[in-house]
Amino acid sequence: MKPMIWTIAGICIIILMIPTLLVLPTFQGKPEVSQHVSAEPSVKKEVKGTVKLKQSPVAIPVYRSAHQQVENIPLEEYVIGVVASEMPADFEMEALKAQALAARTYIVRQMIIDKTVKSPKGSLVDDTQMFQVYKNKQELKKIWGKAYNWKLKKVTEAVASTQGKVLTYDEKPIDASFFSTSNGKTENAEAYWKNEIPYLKSVSSKWDEKSPKFQNKKTITVS
């Protein structure tokens, strides 16, 4: 009789424990959810303040012309080096953001198209004007000197504010060409290259007339 009683008792205990076992994973997950919720205020504070740059999982193989070797550079670090090299850091923040968008779009497009201009073997681009000028932090420090800290911070903030964003046409990265100063009007793509590009059409650019580079004078002798 006793074995029968113990068997029935054991079955009752198992039946009672089943709901507990089913609920246990959910209960154990609650602290994780709670932790995520409690982290929200700190995220909001970060958004209100300086935007931080997230680490990029993608690396760009760049041929460093000075050392004649390929260096793998995280995507956003590469964009920082390009923006810092292609545009003065004392330009307006919105201009730096636009430059960051153009630089990132350019390199993403290089990753997915068949390039007409080939970079050295093992690299996607080099660090010259043939693609985009790139300088690392050590090189920028030599160029900027005492202004290094505030300039790098400003450029980094511009890149972080646009991180993960590219310019597209028909859901593909555009040819994000840019220049310093026009003669008051941009050019049609087909007037410069062989093919027409629908988003590169001539438009008025009268604000270029205010650029210090709009007029260029050179004095030569009569002889």
DSSP type of residue 104: H
pLDDT digits (tens, 9 = 90+) for 117-174: 788 889 999 999 999 999 999 999 999 999 999 999 999 999 999 999 999 999 999 9
Secondary structure class of 47 (helix, strand, coil): helix
- Rounded average pLDDT over 20-46: 30
* Mean pLDDT score across all residues of the chain: 80
Considering the domain architecture, whether residues 10 and 83 belong to the same structural domain is answered as no
Which amino acid belongs to residue 59? Answer: A
Nearest partner of 86 among 185, 180, 216, judged by Cα: 180
Check residue 3 and give its pLDDT: 55
Token pair listed for 156: 């980094």
Q: What span, in angstroms and rounded, lies between the C-alpha atoms of 204 and 213?
A: 17
CB 176 within 8 A of CB 113: no
Which residues lie across from 61 on neighbouring strands? 72
Is 182's pLDDT higher than 50? yes
Considering the domain architecture, whether residues 174 and 65 belong to the same structural domain is answered as yes
Considering the domain architecture, whether residues 95 and 24 belong to the same structural domain is answered as no
Nearest partner of 96 among 18, 30, 162, judged by Cα: 162
Give the global pTM: 0.71
Considering the domain architecture, whether residues 18 and 92 belong to the same structural domain is answered as no
Q: What span, in angstroms and rounded, lies between the C-alpha atoms of 125 and 33?
A: 44
Considering the domain architecture, whether residues 24 and 117 belong to the same structural domain is answered as no
